[in-house]
Amino acid sequence: MTGPLRIGNCSGFYGDRFSAMREMLDGGRLDVLTGDYLAELTMLILGRDRMKDPQLGYAKTFLRQARECLALAADQGVRIVVNAGGLNPAGLAVKLRELSGELGVAAEVAHVEGDDLAPRAAELGFGEPLTANAYLGAWGIARCLDAGADIVVTGRVTDASLVVGPAAAHFGWGRADHDRLAGAVAAGHVIECGTQATGGNFPFFTEITDLSRPGFPIAEVHQDGSSVITKHDGTGGAVTVDTVTAQLMYEITGARYAGPDVTTRLDTVELSQEGPDRVRITGVTGEAPPPRLKVSLNAVGGFRNEMTFVLTGLDIEAKAELARAQLEAGLRTRPAELTWTLARLDRADAGTEEEASAILRCVVRDSDPDVVGRAFSNAAVEMALASYPGFHLTSAPGSGSVYGVFTPGYVDAAEVPHRAVLADGSTVDIEPSGESRALEEVAEPRLPPPLPPGPTRDVPLGLIAAARSGDKGGDANIGVWVRTDDQWRWLAHELTVERLKRLLPEAAELTVRRTLLPNLRAVNFVVEGILGRGAAYQARFDPQAKGLGEWLRARHVPIPEELLP
């Protein structure tokens, strides 16, 4: 098979645009339609669903989308591959078979399982988490498709596996085809988050003519592993080298992008604009995967509550200090964790009351729901007539809510029973890769020659640099890239770990790692521990670090005048 395989995406997270599945099926030709519904936080949500009802644990949204679109997909011969099975892929497969019978649609439904390690968590040294799921690879998906499945649902596979599996099945790739597999991983990584590849959350968004409703992305994967990223004609958004770079830089840790089937060398990726809304990905090389699989561990950490005080006008610092002292004195039992954050959003001589106000947040956590419940929030309300002038809160008192804790784990691939459950009910065991390679840091590439000295201006970094940031457990990544070779010569020398820590004081005391990606004119930073114990822990007001890159772009640095627009 030498023609490209057109693989579309219709979901980047659990809660994405509901109509996207129909839009993708109506919009033009596809061979395969994928959907990514899982994230570290989603696994916690599904785990709590399963606690309430053991029959749940899958993404219910997908089942409703299938009700609308199953017949359309069958008529067009589009195969569907999604990770919407979550913690219960077998249960979702049963529901899909019932649905296809009810609708009178002939659809062979298969699923992939074995990732759920919760029953064996203690035995594997993971304690007793709410969820424990190993990241499986693409070969179970490929086996289901080889056996004729029209729909494949999985649990926790790597996001890119939704693309790699169909490509491997279509082209007949083998386990040792590391470069081809790595090329498909790159394509899968680009389209896995839906419209983030077509202009969504894009730093230079004002350059895109129509962002009212960006189209979802398509990867045209070729037999050699190269691909073209595109979208249906007539849809909003744009596919450019920059929008594709933005997604390539999302939630990565370094030059080696490890997976269960292949380790993709992100430092080999080459991008080129092939035409309007068409970006070609070439040159990607791969290596044998590491011997261990990553495991996503989610546990209930305890109970959390917060109250937010509004401080207006003069003496903001003194007002904040009074509020802190009064609330802490009024608590009968001090919570295990109590943290204060003052956000100085106020302006001098403001024209509106809101612009004259700062925000003071108090967040508490404890294993006892009563300690952080009404006893805490009522203590804040009781201050209303006895505290700083202009006292008011942003919410009424309330009870505490459960918060989650994410921990990454690792397990030998041989310990994980990767199984393809075919449409006829038979099972096929998928063996782990026969070849593995321990992960190691890539040698730092040679820096480009620095720019000659010249006049500079103190302006926002974002005038010439783009950025994309996101969460990786308790860590965050910030990918930064520029558009010209001269800008790259400046960025590679200027944006060091030390400079980043000065620009982002929240990272000053944390470990920060930097990776240069010259092919993309990019530098990636991993800020360790800035998100505490994961997104569900809500250590920061931006718990998934979505705005961290935009904060960096807004900071002022001395940029050579010759580089400025």
Q: By the 8 A CB rule, do 149 and 140 touch? A: no
Q: Can you tell me the distance from the alpha carbon of 313 to that of 349, in angstroms, rounded to the nearest whole number?
A: 9
CB 475 within 8 A of CB 533: no
Q: Please, what is the Cα angle at 559 between 558 and 562, to 5 degrees?
A: 145
Instruction: Specify whether the CB–CB gap between 159 and 180 falls below 8 A.
Output: no
Round to whole Å and give the CA distance between 174 and 181: 9
Angle (nearest 5°) at CA 323 between 383 and 346: 115
Position 366 pLDDT exceeds 60: yes
Higher pLDDT, 434 or 27: 27
H or E segment to which residue 274 belongs: strand 270-275
Domains of the chain with bracketed CATH = 5-296+408-429 (no CATH), 300-404 (3.30.70.380), 456-563 (no CATH)
CA distance 337 to 429: 46
* Residues 467, 541, 543: CA angle, nearest 5 degrees: 65
The pLDDT score that the predictor gives to residue 135 is 98
- Assigned token pair, 298: 């989610």
In this structure, are residues 166 and 124 in contact, taking their beta carbons and an 8 Å threshold? no
For residue 125, count CB atoms less than 10 angstroms from its CB and return exposed for 0-12, middle for 13-18, buried for 19 or more.
Answer: exposed
Q: For 26-44, give the DSSP string.
A: HHS--SEEEE----HHHHH
Using CA atoms, how far residue 398 sits from 304, 372, 381, 387, 484, in Å, is 11, 9, 11, 20, 52
Mean pLDDT, rounded, for 221-225: 98
Q: What are phi and psi of 334, to 5 degrees?
A: -80, 130
Give the up-direction half-sphere exposure of residue 453: CA atoms within 13 A in the CB hemisphere: 0
What is the residue-wise DSSP string for 188-202?
Answer: HHHHTTGGGGTTTT-
> 40: pLDDT confidence band, cut at 50, 70 and 90?
confident
| CB 146 within 8 Å of CB 169 | yes
Tokens of 201: 């959350």
pLDDT tens digits, 495-553: 999 999 999 999 999 999 999 999 999 999 999 999 999 988 888 889 999 999 999 99
At 173-208, the pLDDT tens digits run: 999 999 999 999 999 999 999 999 999 999 999 999
Instruction: For residue range 349-363, list pLDDT tens digits in order.
Output: 999 999 999 999 999
Q: How far, in Å, CA of 418 to CA of 175, rounded? A: 15
Tokens of 541: 């007001």
Contact 152, 197 (CB under 8 A): no
Q: How confident is the model at residue 288 (pLDDT cuts 50, 70, 90)?
A: very high
Question: In the predicted model, what is the mean pLDDT of residues 422-444?
Answer: 94
In degrees to the nearest 10, what's the CA dihedral of 22, 25, 27, 31? 160
* Nearest CA-CA partner of 261 in 413, 89, 451: 413
229-249, pLDDT tens digit by residue?
999 999 999 999 999 999 999
Check residue 189 and give left, alpha or beta (phi > 0: left; psi -120 to 50: alpha).
alpha
Residue 298 pLDDT more than 60?
Answer: yes
Tally of helices (H runs) and strands (E runs) in the chain: 13, 26
As a whole number of angstroms, the distance between CA 433 and CA 418 comes to: 11
pLDDT tens-digit readout, 441-450? 899 999 999 9
pLDDT of res. 41 = 84
Mean pLDDT over all residues of the chain?
Answer: 97
Interhelix angle 89-103/60-76, rounded to 10 degrees, is: 50
Neighbouring residues of 505: CB distance < 8 A, sequence distance ≥ 6:
none
Average pLDDT over residues 66-76: 98
DSSP notation for 131-189: EEEE-B-SHHHHHHHHTT-SEEEESSB-TTHHHHHHHHHHHT--TT-HHHHHHHHHHHH
pLDDT at 2: 67
Structure tokens at 72: 């359309």
User: Which strand (E) or helix (H) includes residue 513?
Assistant: strand 512-517
Q: Looking at residues 383-403, what average pLDDT do you find?
A: 95
pLDDT at residue number 1: 57
Cα–Cα dist 111/297, whole Å = 22
3-state SS class at 261: coil
DSSP state of 393: E
Phi, psi for residue 340 in degrees, rounded to 5: -115, 140
pLDDT of residue 386 exceeding 80, the answer is yes
Taking the CA atoms of residue 387, residue 389, residue 394 and residue 397 in that order, the dihedral angle to the nearest 10 degrees is: 20
Asked whether 42 and 13 are in contact (CB, 8 A), the reply is yes
d(CA 375, CA 396): 13
